[in-house]
Chains A and B, each alone.
Chain A
C-alpha cells in the first residue's frame, strides 16, 4: 500500500478514519497534559493511575451490568483519582517514599482489578467479553462516539488550560510563590491532576493499561528537548503525540498482526530518541560536538600560550624557532599549527615558526583574560 493510497483510504474507510483521528486526538491530549506531569516530576504517576483504573472499570461493570464505554470510563476515572490521592496521602502521612507509594498503588489496585475481572469472567451472564481489552487496548474497537468523547474532553481541557494558564504555569514552577500570591493551590492542583487522570482514562481503551504511561511521558519528554518555554513545550508535545498516533496507526494498518498500541508507543519512543540526539541546544550529538570544539579551542590556546612564553623571552617576537621544540608539547599537532597559521597568528619558514604581531597580541590578551577571571 503506497502513501497516496493510504491517505485516500484514511478519508474513505470508516474504521481507519476513526482510529486515525482517535489516536491523533488521544496523542495530542496526553502529550499536552503529559507536559505538566513530566515537569511536576510525576512522570510515573501515569503508570500508577492507568493500573489503578482497572478495578474501577470492573466495579462499574459489576454495578451497572452494562458494557457502555462511558460508564466504564467514569468508574476508571473514580478509581484512578482514588489511587492518585491515596499516593499523595501515603507520601504526606508516612515515611514511605513516592516511588514505593506509586509501586504499591499500581500493583495493589491492578491485582484487585484482576481479581474482579476473573471473578466477572466466571459469572454466568456472557456479557462481559471485551473487558480485558482495557488491559492491552484495542484501537480497532474505537467508534465514532469514542472519538467525539475524546474531542470534547480535549476541548474542555484545552479551554480550562487556557483560562487558568497563568495559574497552572505559576504552580508548576513555584508553588510557594503561588500560595503567597493568594491562589488556591490545592484547587489548581486537583484540577490538573484530574485532567491527567482523565487523559489516561481516555487512552485506556486504545493503548491499554500497560502502555498508557508512555503516551503521557514520551511526547512531553521529546518536546522538552527542543524548548525552554512552557507554551511551546505543550504545543510540541501535543504535536508529537498526535503524530505518534497517526504514524502508529498507519504502520499498524499497513501490516498484519501489528497491534496499534505498542506501535504508537514505539513511534513516540523514536521521537524521544531523535530529540535526545538531535536537539540543537540539549541534544547529545550537539553537546558532543560542542565538547570536541571546546577541547580543540583549548588545545589551540594552549599551543599559542606556549609559543607566547618562548617568544616573550626574545627581543624580537617574530624571531623564528624550530618546530621541533613544540614536539614535546601536548596540545601540538600538525593540524593545530596549520590552524594557527590560518588564523594568521603564526608564520612558517621551512622548519621554523615565528609569532606574528597579531598572534602575540592575542596570546597576551588570552593570558590577561585568564588572570582577570581569576
Chain B
C-alpha cells in the first residue's frame, strides 16, 4: 500500500488531465473555431493580410480601453478595441481610394502607425498600466484558467472561456443566418449587389466579426498568432476542397486538432502554448501543401510533367503522321529531328507504346490505327476547340482535362 501513494500522485499529475488542462484545451479549441470561421471568408476574399493589420492595430484600442476599465476582460474594452480594428479597415480603404499607393502598401502603412501609438501609450503610462506588450502580442494561454468568473460566490469557470464562447456563438449565428449572402458576395460581388444584398454591409459585418474575434482571442493566444489561427486552417482546407461548406468544416477540424495537439506539444516541450499550436498548424499546412491530392505541390508537379510528356507525344505522333518516308521514321533520326533529351524521348516512346499508338519494327516507327485516329481527333480538337470530340480521351490524358 505504501507504494501506491506516489503512484496516485503521479497519476493525478500526469495521466489524468486536471481541470485546468481541460479548460486550457477547451479555450484553445474555442479560439481556433472562432478564428477559423471568419478566416475562411478572409482567405476566399483575398483579404488575409487585413487580419494581420487588425491584430496589430487593436493595440491602441486595448490600451485606451484598459485605461478606462482597468480590466482586460471587460466587454467595453473588447468593443473599443474592435472599433479600432474597424477604423483600420476604413483607413486602409480610404488610402486605397486615393490611389496614391498600391493596395497592399496602404495596409502596410496603417497598422504599424497604430501599433506604434499603442506601444508609446503603454510606455508613457508604464506606472499606471499593468499591461505588457508581450502579453498583448504573444498571449499566455496557460494563465487563462486563473482569471475566473465568480457569480454570487460560485466559481463558474475561467472568464476567457465565456468571452470566446459568446463571440463564437455570435459568429456561428451570423454565419448560419447570412450564409447565402456571404457565399454570394464572396464569390460574385456583382451578383450579390444585383440580388439586393449590399456587399458593403456584408464586408463591414465580416470585418467587425474579425475584429471582435481578434480582440477576444488575443488575450489567449496573442495578436500575431490569431492571424495564424485565422489563415492557416482556412488555407490548408482550401488546398483540400473547393466546396465552401466542406472548407469551413475542414478549417474548424484542423484548427481544433492543432489546438489540442499543440497544447500537448507545449506541455511536453515546456514552451509557449500559442507557439506550439502555430507550429502544429505549420506542420499540417506543410504536409497538405506537399501531398494534397490535386492541389499539392507534388501533384501539381506530376501533372505538369505529365502534360509536358503528352504535348511531346502529340508532336511526335503528328510528325509520324506527316511523314510516310521510312527514313524520317527511323528511331535515331527522330531523336535528332525533334531534339529531345534521351530521357524525354524514352518516356514519350514508352507512353505511346503503352497506349498502342505506335509499333516499332526494325527501328522504324509507324502509327497504329488507334494512333492514327487519336492524332486526327487531337488535331480536330486543337483546331475547333470543341469539347465533345475528346470526351473519351479525357480519362487517359491530363492534357485534355482543361
Q: Taking beta carbons and an 8 Å cutoff, which residues of A are in contact with B?
A: 38, 41, 43-44, 46-47, 51, 89-90, 93-97, 99-100, 102-104, 106-119, 122, 132, 135-136, 210-211, 213-214, 216-218, 221, 224-225, 257-259, 261-263, 265-266, 269, 272, 276, 282, 284
Contacts and interface: CB of A to CB of B under 8 A. Distances in A.
A38 B98 CA distance: 16
B52 A214 contact: no
A285 to B, nearest CB: 12
Contact of A269 (B109, B274, B282, B296): B109
Given A119-B269, A259-B120, A47 B108 contact: yes
Contacts of B124: 257-258
Contacts of B73: none
Contacts of B49: 44, 47, 99, 102-103
Contacts of A115: 266, 269, 271-272, 275-276, 278-279
A107 B52 contact: yes
B68 interface: no
Nearest to A287: B98
A259 B270 CA distance: 31
Contact of A108 (B108, B222, B232, B239): B232
Contacts of B116: 211, 214, 261-263, 265-266, 269
Interface in B237-283: 238-239, 266, 269-272, 274-279, 281-282
Contact of B109 (A90, A132, A214): A214
B289 interface: yes
Q: DSSP class of A's interface residues: helix, strand, loop or mixed?
A: helix
Contacts of A265: 112-113, 116
7 contacts: A103-B235, A108-B228, A108-B285, A111-B277, A114-B278, A262-B123, A276-B98
Nearest to B127: A257
- Minimum-distance CB pairs A-B, first 9: A111-B278, A214-B112, A115-B275, A107-B228, A114-B275, A262-B116, A118-B272, A108-B282, A103-B48
Given A38-B105, A96-B239, A211-B115, A282 B100 contact: yes
Interface residues of B, number: 64
B285 A104 contact: yes
A106 to B, nearest CB: 6
Given A94-B295, A269-B113, A282-B100, A210 B47 contact: no
Nearest to A122: B270
B297 interface: yes
A47 B52 contact: yes
Contacts of B301: 93
Contact of A41 (B56, B102, B238, B295): B102
Interface of B: 43, 46-49, 51-52, 56, 95, 98, 100-102, 104-105, 107-109, 112-113, 115-117, 119-120, 123-124, 126, 133-134, 137-138, 222, 224-225, 227-228, 230-232, 234-235, 238-239, 266, 269-272, 274-279, 281-282, 285, 289, 295-297, 300-301
A107 B101 contact: no
Contacts of A136: 119, 133
A119 B277 CA distance: 14
Contacts of B275: 111-118
Contact of B225 (A38, A44, A95, A111): A111
Nearest to B102: A41
A43 B295 CA distance: 27
A95 B295 contact: yes
Given A43-B108, A94-B295, A115-B279, A107 B126 contact: no
Contact of A111 (B109, B123, B230, B282): B282
A284 B301 CA distance: 48
Contacts of A38: 101-102, 105
Given A93-B300, A94-B295, A107-B224, A210 B48 contact: no
Given A43-B102, A107-B231, 7 more contacts: A43-B105, A104-B231, A108-B281, A110-B225, A114-B272, A211-B116, A221-B105
A13 B225 CA distance: 40
Contacts of A44: 49, 52, 104, 107-108
Contacts of A43: 101-102, 104-105, 107-108
A17 B105 CA distance: 32
B46 A89 contact: no
B118 to A, nearest CB: 8
A210 B115 contact: yes
Contact of B98 (A41, A108, A112, A284): A284
A107 B108 contact: no
Contacts of B296: 94
B228 A111 contact: yes
B133 to A, nearest CB: 6
A210 B278 contact: no
A258 B274 contact: no
Nearest to B121: A262
Contacts of A216: 108
Contacts of A263: 116, 120
Given A132-B134, A210-B56, A257-B126, A107 B232 contact: yes
B109 A221 contact: yes
A90 B232 CA distance: 13
Q: Choose among A116, A118, A263, A284 the residue with the greatest number of B CB atoms under 10 Å from its CB.
A: A118
B121 to A, nearest CB: 10
Contacts of B52: 44, 47, 103, 106-107
B109 A102 contact: no
Contacts of A113: 275
Contacts of A51: 224
A258 B116 CA distance: 11
Q: Choose among B117, B123, B231 the residue with the greatest number of A CB atoms under 10 Å from its CB.
A: B231
A116 B100 CA distance: 40
A112 B282 CA distance: 8
B110 to A, nearest CB: 9
A102 B109 CA distance: 16
Q: Choose among A89, A111, A214, A218 the residue with the greatest number of B CB atoms under 10 Å from its CB.
A: A111
Nearest to A95: B295
Contact of A114 (B43, B117, B138, B239): B138
Contact of B48 (A41, A99, A116, A276): A99
A221 B101 contact: yes
Given A107-B278, A118-B275, A262-B116, A96 B109 contact: no
Contacts of B48: 97, 99-100, 102-104
Contact of B123 (A100, A225, A259): A259
B109 A218 contact: yes
B280 to A, nearest CB: 9
Contacts of A217: 105, 108-109, 112
Contacts of A100: 43, 46, 48, 231, 234-235, 238
Contacts of A210: 56, 112, 115, 137, 224
